Structures are given as structure tokens and as C-alpha cells.
Amino acid sequence: MTRTSALMRVVALTAIYLLVLTSLHPGDILTGVVLSGIFVAAARRIRPLGPSPAAPWFRRLVGVPALVGGTLVDVAVSTWRTALWCLNLRRTRPGLVTVPIPACGAPSAAAWGVRVGITPDTVVVDLDEERGRMLLHVIDARDPDAVRAEQLRSYERRQRRVFP
Amino acid sequence: MISVVLDVIGAALLLVGLTLMTISLYGVLRLPDTFSQLHAQGLATGPGVLAVLASSVATENAAIITFAVLAIVFVTLTSPVSGHAIARSARHRGRRRQVE
């Protein structure tokens, strides 16, 4: 993490802190800066995420609507499937499926994990970006190849531009 | 007019959120193993909570809506992580039991 990106993180966290307090009192700003600084320093020591994706930021920014909109669609579809499954209106066979993930950095793998994890019909059990695989528990594991294809298609269409 | 529309949207989102939470509770009680229960609880901690928070648009209060947006971002980032942590420990526990 460069000094600039660390500074950006401190500023962003301080802004969130002040938004939560809805205050611009100098004491609150100082407390926010100190707390954010401690948090950013601690997070860096606990587990550095590695370099950010090399793609230019404006190209990544263009992909954000597709990422957010596509993820919302995924969540809505997955919510419907899971609700039917919970109510026993949809018979499936839940199980574990290993999904190969393309060579990507830790930030990209983490984004993939969060994106998949927010949909209720998939739970991320293990994520190994070094070996390039993700272990998922899905509510319908009758066709593991279909699950893999759906995950890879979703990565290509929604995430790749923002987190390559 | 806009106020009425926001009221309707807020009420609909609240209804959807509470329905999802109820289904989630039923699923957690009915389903047999930890992994399956995680899918059920994912309904409440993901879309359920998000819908309830999004229903704050009906208040038309900037402060409340800002808090709700911050909470939505927080829940979106933390809910998958907590689900992953529970799933991972469930898998390790299952492996340990097999070894024993």
C-alpha cells in the first residue's frame, strides 16, 4: 500500500465516521483521523491485500454500474430460489462444488467472494487465490458443471472490468 | 404525490424484508445441517435486512437515509464474511469428526 492510498483510506474512513456522527466538530474530526489512522495501520499489518488491479481506474469505474446492477439481479434471483427451497416448494440436492477461478490478485478474489457470498443460494466455504479455486456450498449441486459455468459467466460479465 | 409513492415503496420494502426474515427463520428451524441453515440465514442477513433498511426512504429524512445507506454498505460487506467464517468452521469440524 502506497502512502497516497493509505492517506485516501484514512480520509474515506474519517468521512464515514463523521457521517455517522453527523458532525464537523474539530474534536470529532481529530478523533476520526486518529481512529482511522490506527485502523489503516493495523489492517496493513494483519494482512496486506497486495497490489491493486493494474487496469486504469476510469475503465474500472465504467464497469461499476454493471457490477452493482448485475449483483442486484443475482441477489433477487437467488433470493427467490432460496425462499422456495426453504419453504420446501423446490426440491434440490445441496452440496459442495469446487469452482476454478482465473489467476487474479487477492483483492479480486476477495471481491468475488463477497459478490458470491451476498447471494443466499451460495455460501463461500473456502477461497484459495494461490491455487485458483473456490469451494462453494450451493442449494442445487445436481449439475456441478452448470454451477461452475454460471460462476465464471457471472465473473466475466459483472466483475472482470472492475476487479480483473 | 412523491410522498405517497415513497410511502408505498417503503411499505412494500418493509413487507418484503419481514417476509424474507420469516421464511429465513422457518428455514433455519426446518433444515438439517449447518450449511443448509446458512443459506436460510443468508435470506435474513442479506436481502431481508437490506430491504428493511431500504424502506427508510419512506421517512424522507436525510439523516436516517444516510445512516441506512451506511448500514447497507456495512451489511453488504460483512454478511458474506460472517457466512464464510461459519461455513469454514463447519467444514473443519466435519473433517475433525471424520478423523476421530
Residues A148 and A131: their CA atoms lie apart, in Å, by: 16
| Residue A80, domain member (yes or no) | yes
- Whether residue A127 lies inside any domain: the answer is yes
- Distance of alpha carbon A78 from alpha carbon A82, whole angstroms: 6
Let me know if residue A20 belongs to a domain.
Answer: yes
With CA atoms as reference, report the closest residue to B3 among B51, B86, B61.
Answer: B61
What's the sign of the alpha-carbon dihedral A132, A135, A141, A142? positive
Cα distance from B60 to chain A (closest Cα, Å)? 17
Angle at B86 between CA B81 and CA B87, to 5 degrees: 95
Residue A72 and residue A42 share a domain: no
Asked if residue A135 and residue A105 are part of one domain, the reply reads: yes
Tens digit of each residue's pLDDT (9 = 90 or more) over B61-98:
988 998 899 899 989 989 999 999 999 999 988 877 76
> Which residues in B lie closer than 8 A to residue A123 (C-beta atoms)?
35, 38-39, 42, 83-84, 87
The pLDDT score that the predictor gives to residue A61 is 83
| Whether residues A110 and A73 fall in one domain | yes
Considering the domain boundaries, does residue A51 fall inside one? no
Q: Assess whether pLDDT exceeds 90 at residue A139.
A: yes
Looking at the structure, tell me whether residues A86 and A130 fall in a common domain. yes
Domain identity same for A142 and A71: yes
DSSP, collapsed to helix, strand or coil, labels residue A110 as: helix
Long-range (24+ apart) CB contacts under 8 A made by B26-31 are B26/A86, B26/A87, B27/A82, B27/A85, B27/A86, B27/A87, B30/A86, B30/A88, B31/A86
Q: Which domain holds residue B61?
A: 2-99
Look at residue A52 and tell me if it is in a domain. Answer: no
- In chain B, the number of structural domains is 1
Q: Residue A34 is part of which domain span?
A: 3-46
A100 and A40 in one domain?
no
Could you tell me where the beta strands, DSSP code E, fall in chain A? Answer: 95-100, 122-128, 133-138
ipTM: 0.88
Residue A48: pLDDT above 70? no
Examine residue A31 and state whether it is found in any structural domain, yes or no.
yes
| Chain B residues interacting with chain A (CB cutoff of 8 angstroms) | 20, 23-24, 26-27, 30-31, 35-36, 38-40, 42-43, 46-47, 63, 66-67, 70, 76-77, 79-81, 83-84, 87-88, 91
Q: A157 is written with which cell numbers?
A: 460479465
Residue A42 placed within a domain: yes
Q: Which of A48-57, A146-155, B47-56 has the lowest mean pLDDT?
A: A48-57
Q: Which of A17-26, A44-53, B48-57 is the least confident region? A: A44-53
pLDDT exceeds cutoff 90 at A51: no
Listed range (A5-19, A69-83, B14-28) with the worst mean pLDDT: A5-19
At A131 the pLDDT is 80
Domain count, chain A: 2
Query: Are residues A61 and A113 both part of a single domain?
Result: yes
Which residues are bridge partners to A133 per DSSP? A100, A128
Instruction: Look at residue A105 in the predicted model and tell me its pLDDT.
Output: 74
Between positions 25 and 64 of A, the ones with CB within 8 A of B are: none
Q: Position A108: which residue type?
A: S
- Same domain for A15 and A82: no
Asked if residue A134 and residue A67 are part of one domain, the reply reads yes
Q: Between chains, do A116 and B24 touch, taking CB under 8 Å as contact?
A: no
- Confidence check: pLDDT of B27 > 90: yes
A150, A121: one domain: yes
